[in-house]
Amino acid sequence: MTRFTTPIAEQIWSMKYRYVTGDGGDASVEDTWRRVARALAAVEAEPDVWEERFYAALEDFKFLPAGRITAGAGTGRKVTLFNCFVMGTIPDDMGGIFDNLREAALTMQQGGGIGYDFSTIRPRGAVVKGVSADASGPLSFMDVWDAMCRTIMSAGSRRGAMMATMRCDHPDIEDFIGVKSDAARLRMFNLSVLVTDAFMEAVKADGPWDLQFDGRVYRTVQARDLWNRIMQATYDYAEPGVIFIDRINQANNLNYVENISATNPCGEQPLPPYGACLLGSVNLARLVIDPFGNRARLDAAALKDLVRTAVRMMDNVVDVSQFPLSAQAGEARAKRRIGLGVTGLADALLMLGLRYGSDKAARQTEIWMHKIAVAAYLASVDLAREKGAFPLFDAEHFLASGAMREMDETVREAIAKHGIRNALLTSVAPTGTISLYAGNVSSGIEPVFAYSYTRKVLQKDGSRTEEEVVDYAVQMWREMFGDAPLPDHFVNAQTLAPEDHVKMQAAAQKWVDSSISKTINCPADISFEAFKNVYMQAYETGCKGCTTYRPNDVTGSVLSVGEAEDKVPGETPDQARGDFPAEGGEVVYMSDPLDRPTELEGATYKLKWPDSNHAIYVTVNDIVLGGHRRPFEVFINSKNMEHYAWTVALTRMISAVFRRGGDVSFVVEELKAVFDPRGGAWMNGKYIPSILAAIGGVLERHMVQIGFLEGEGLGLKADPTAQVVGLEGAPRGPACPACGSYDMRMIEGCMTCASCGHSKCSG
């Protein structure tokens, strides 16, 4: 017997969350739950008692800690269990800027996604005193961060993710707004504009708006013109997002000791300098009683108990986790903020007969989120009575914050009397991978995106198997009612009006003390005025931020335009359209690396970098699968000891990627895009931006020679200049760099492959 409802869920567990050692490790998902429960109970006075309670919460995917906790807790690995970090304030001097770059690299090396506010760097053209030069501006330094992020593989073979914010009154804000029009620039960043209440009032009044830095006004623009530029950029290529920063700071429980100007990569965690937050989700879909029945309801008692246990588990993570930087550890332990959220909301609503986006569904969402908030806060009060309040707790100021003024009086009285263990407790984070691992429940508070789709799974022998992945609620309906048509209240992200998305986000936000990661899907033909109204609705209804996705020529269409052949019984063609990957899109999943034969064929290439005293030799060995030759491993050698550490690291990382199978040409693209701030070199009539880019060129040449790539610059999976046309001539945008399918879509604030789950965002 297995706890997994689908083979793909078990494969995800095996690849991402299973702990494997030479003498065993996790033989089953029950072993994983036991490992995590034991690790988090170790700090308790009665660890055996709490281990059993924690295990019961994890069992059958009822509580889903974020992936870093599930993969890392109890393993002894040097990784952080925290998902979210905002780095320190960037000083406006060269030394401080590069000190911050180093801290970012160390954080991403341990698996953390990071956020930065670049508003503190003087604008382009400003005078730099003492060096007789003009400043290059914050965007030039963002390019350096972007290059660093390309080079670092974060823990678990997942690339780092970054969020960059800039205030709406910074003199370089217009350049920041338009930077993503260049599809090759700042691809490792999500971008958001910090929008103030004063700016929004100026927009409404069509008034003037000063762009200023360090007390100096550089120029004045019309607020509405600047707002329209933000909206046009987002309409055209899905970025930047908008963060209502004054609202965040006013509502923050900790506004008496911190000021927030940045968020984590997906936006659900506004954090102060060196702020860190861990994440976890209650699976609402697992708590429904009598699904689709006349008395369908959420088990309120079970929800309360689960929330209370989850809060204790997450509070313990603060004590057992490692941190990349001591400043992050100090910040986390001084405030002990956690981010408990939900997943499976849309499925739970479907089981109750409620249409996602309806007034009834929004009201039910608000009720559930209220229950979760109250249970979480009271659980934290109990922990404060037992273990003490968070060190920076001040009852008078804490209870006077914007969010706490709205809290139930019983909770306020309990906090005033006993204190509270955690400064902030609730957040709604992206849950794409853990939701699939839990049986393909709907993600976070998002609507169901696809009722069903097909995944192709690469096996060790090179063959591929195909399997259908069905939404959790849809699968339950099938099991209960067979081929009966889906009821009218079954809706998905593509059939919802944008206003319904905003309504659901606002309903949940009322009882979430941090923020929410959610994407508001807009049709390609939405008018620009209607699109702008979405953002104004988000502001007026109390949201803390807004992220939309409209199919466009830069990021592509999120929909396949052909009718799916294997649609869910009862679906109309309109319902089926858009729910399946485009024809030819493939998912490549592997639970184990390819085995190495005793002998391999390969080639060695000599690379002489102009500024180096010694040549670098790159050896690429190949394996034959299904009659086709493909790269399997790489060795990089040089007599120059300056290169030793990073060449060994690069060798191991690239070889590990190659041995996982699938289309690995993205490695070439990533290496070729790395530039050295010290400058590149001319080689064979071409400018090569870095020695890493030169190595990427060698790998590309080898792949062309063995027939893995058609030619130089052809077939790369993330070619920013590629214009790929889908069915009926619709632009499909860039391919997924992991599996090659043209099914990248904006999910919970991050471009994510619906085929294989690849995402640049951490979580």
C-alpha 476/C-alpha 487 separation (Å) is 13
Show the tokens assigned to 467: 């399997």
CA distance 332 to 448: 34
Contact status, residue 340 vs residue 311, Cβ threshold 8 Å: yes
Lookup result for tokens 């059958």: 60
3-state secondary structure of 588: coil
CB 422 within 8 A of CB 444: no
Q: Distance between CA 219 and CA 212 in Å, rounded? A: 7
Token pair, residue 501, equals 């998305």
Q: Pick from 325, 259, 326, 323: which is nearest to 119 by CA?
A: 259
Residue 279 sits at the vertex; the CA angle it makes with 65 and 106, to the nearest 5 degrees, is 110
Q: Are 502 and 520 within 8 A, CB to CB?
A: yes
Name the nearest CA neighbour of 86 among 163, 159, 142. 163
Neighbouring residues of 436: CB distance < 8 A, sequence distance ≥ 6: 8, 9, 12, 469, 757
Element (DSSP H or E) covering residue 742: none
Structure tokens at 526: 């939405």
Nearest CA among 676, 631, 636 for reference residue 656 = 631
Compute the Cα dihedral for 230, 233, 234, 238 and give only its sign. Answer: negative
Answer whether 123's CB lies under 8 Å from 79's CB: no
Question: Taking the CB of residue 664, how many other CB atoms lie within 10 A of it?
Answer: 23
In the DSSP assignment, the letter for residue 332 is H
Tell me the three-class secondary structure of 533-567, residue by residue: HHHHHHHHCCCCEECEECCECCCECCCCCCCCCCC
Amino acid at 463: S
**Beta-strand relationship, 208-213 and 216-222:** antiparallel
Q: Which two tokens stand for residue 372?
A: 């979760």
Nearest CA to 516 out of 527, 524, 505, 507 is that of 505
Catalytic residues: 264, 266, 268
Question: How far apart (Å, rounded) are the C-alpha atoms in residues 310 and 239?
Answer: 34
Closest CA relative to residue 480, chosen from 472, 468, 491, 490: 472
Residue 58: closest CA among 429, 352, 437, 445 = 437
Angle between helices 691-705 and 644-659 (to 10 degrees): 30
CA–CA dist 91, 170 (Å, integer):
15
CB burial of residue 246 (10 Å; 0-12, 13-18, 19+): middle
Task: Tell which residue, 307, 264, 312, 344, has the closest CA to residue 82.
Answer: 264
| Beta strands per DSSP E along 113-188 | 113-117, 127-128, 133-134, 153-154, 158-159, 162-167
Token digits of residue 119: 């508003």
- Which amino acid, residue 584? G
Residue type, 683: M
Find, among 116, 117, 184, 104, the residue nearest to 152 by Cα.
104
DSSP-derived pairing of the beta strands 548-549 and 520-521: parallel
